[in-house]
Structure 1
Amino acid sequence: MTDKSSIDTTQPYQLVLFRDDLRTVDHPALLAASEAGPVVALYILDEQSPGIRPLGAAARWWPHHALVSLRASLQELGIPLVLRRGNSVHIIEEITGHGACAAVHWNRRYGQAERAVDTLIKDHVRAAGLHAQSHAGALLHEPWELLTQSGTGYKVFTPFHNAPRSTGIREPHPAPQPQSPPHVELPGSRDAGQLGAAAQFARLVHRAGGCLDSGRTRRPGTPGRGARRYRAALRRAP
């Protein structure tokens, strides 16, 4: 990925944040943004925001290869992928100050530190006069949707496990339709290889006998496999 491309600061675009959801299928934020206008995708390797734990070498191996797969999938849809490293709020402030960003979309995260970061992002984006929208894209149901008849959270596993079956399970969202690539230059984009740690992880794989690189493991870029398996298990359950 090159650092420079053509720029048209008058073309409005929708900015989609990718974090742990490096896929194009069953991605509500990406689908909603694509229905609103041209899309630019952004991935930030954030090891600076308060409470965010830096990834180790093994943990970086997965997003490195998943980003390579995601970039290929997005290119087929005409969506550029911008890769940055640093504090998420500062980077989004910088990016939304260039061009004509109309809105910022992301799928919700649920860790305490991640929620705090996303709240700051939403506050900044809205203060800048832009639309900020979070989407339900990580769970089958939002935590506040699965409640007991008295309106409280579940404390016993079996009723909690049965609740999704009685409330229904949504079908996966399709990938968005291909678009004409927006002519937008955003500052400081990096190549996927600069964010990964494949070399360090290769040594770990070698010491583990190569089992982590065998065909028996999940491979990066396999969208929504875990969610599909869980949906199928719930439907088969008596």
Structure 2
Amino acid sequence: MRGWGAVLLGAIVAVGPAEAGPWARDLGGFYLRGLVSSETLEGINGYRADVYGEYGLTDRWTLTGKSEAVAYQDSIGSIDRQSYRLTARRQLWSRKGFTFGVEGGPVYGSAIAGTYGCDEWGAEARLSSGYSGVRRSLGYYLFADVAAISHQDGCVRERAEFGYGADISDRIFVTQQVWLERSNDSADSNKYESQIGYHFGHVDVAVGYREEFGGAYEESAWLVALTTRR
């Protein structure tokens, strides 16, 4: 190993790890999330920040964008990374809580820290599936995504994502997500992340923990996320 490495319609659940799942925003609806984390990689301290947004172009098409950066204090720049992404998501089919969709668009770079990285322009394609429902008047969802990302420098990444989220009261929610990523030139990475948060009307605040598992490196992070939507 040479390096390291959803949004659900608000009428059902107002939580969710953005960037995942097949659901589309309503026409004119938006979602905006900012996240910061304090990270440790093999004993080196660092910080990560990202901004992610969605906008409903139609009832089935959603525009998404993300900017992300990570920096390690003791590095000399080789494991400081930035990335950008702009995609369109199409909700293909939905029935009885099950939904399927596709997503794709241009990307630049990779925010997976390491000696090797994907530093050029490229494209991402994603297939998504999800299920949403209500139990005892509280919403929940599950999703599974697969994605392929190819860069001009020859770096190719393949990723699978799985997760769920649920309101456990009128105000408190939890989410959990797993990422499995493989690459020919950057990171083979397995991560899980858990969050617990609170609904403040149109704004949610969450704290969480993310950790690498089953890999050659030790990596962990504490995070804070702030989201708003309409």
TM-score of the superposition, structure 1-length normalised? 0.21
Q: Which has the higher strand share?
A: 2
Pick 1 or 2: higher relative contact order, CA cutoff 8 A, min separation 6: 1
Q: Which has the larger radius of gyration?
A: 1
Greater helix content: 1
